[in-house]
Amino acid sequence: MGESLLDKLGWRKYIGQETPSYTGETVLARDIRRYALAIDDLNPIYFDENAAKKGKYGGLTAPLGYVSWAIGVPGGEKSVKELGEDGLATFVGVPEFPNTWELGWVRGGEELEFFKPVYVGDQVTVTGNIVDMSEKDGRSGKMIFVTSLFTYKNQKGETLAKHRVTMIATPRKES
């Protein structure tokens, strides 16, 4: 193992740091419908208000995996010129540290714990913190693992889900 990339970047001090809190805009029936169409999950409880009322949640809800998108894309709505060459602005789980975007980021894995679904009309707030950082030598160089834990709540303060995301960063290779 050579020189620590985490030390070089000076990121270790961010372990435990809170991530910015965001509140999304009101979730619309259209948001849920389009999301369900995209993942091709055609359960009527995502499309049909009457079916949803008779269903287990008693109203139109989003597929459970939608919760992390219900806050929108904080910092992501930028003009083409402001976006990076790869099209990314920010991404859930990618920390906002100095030099973050000198590395390439991919998702390693994630864990979602579900308590309640997102309903039409909800406004979802996320809070979180960096819970772990580590590094190792991979096949093609250094790899940094950053794990964050996010909590999503609705406008009533009810916890909807907890979301543990591990992102993997590697130095960018120019091609």
Nearer to other proteins, 14 or 74 (CB): 74
> Is 113 a residue that touches other proteins (CB under 8 A)?
yes
Tokens of 56: 């287990």
Contact positions with other proteins (CB under 8 A) in 115-144 = none
Q: Which of 25, 77, 137, 158 binds other proteins (CB under 8 A)?
A: 77
| Residues 37-66 as x/- pattern, contact with other proteins by CB under 8 A | xxxxx-x-----------xx------xxx-
Helical segments of 29-143, H only? 29-38, 49-54
> Is 101 a residue that touches other proteins (CB under 8 A)?
no
Phi, psi of 139 (to 5 degrees): -60, -35
Burial of residue 46 (CB within 10 Å: 0-12, 13-18, 19+) is buried
Q: Identify which of 11, 20, 21 has the alpha carbon closest to the alpha carbon of residue 146.
A: 11
Residues that bind other proteins (CB under 8 A): 31, 34-35, 37-41, 43, 55-56, 63-65, 68-69, 72-73, 76-77, 83, 86-89, 91, 106-114, 164, 175
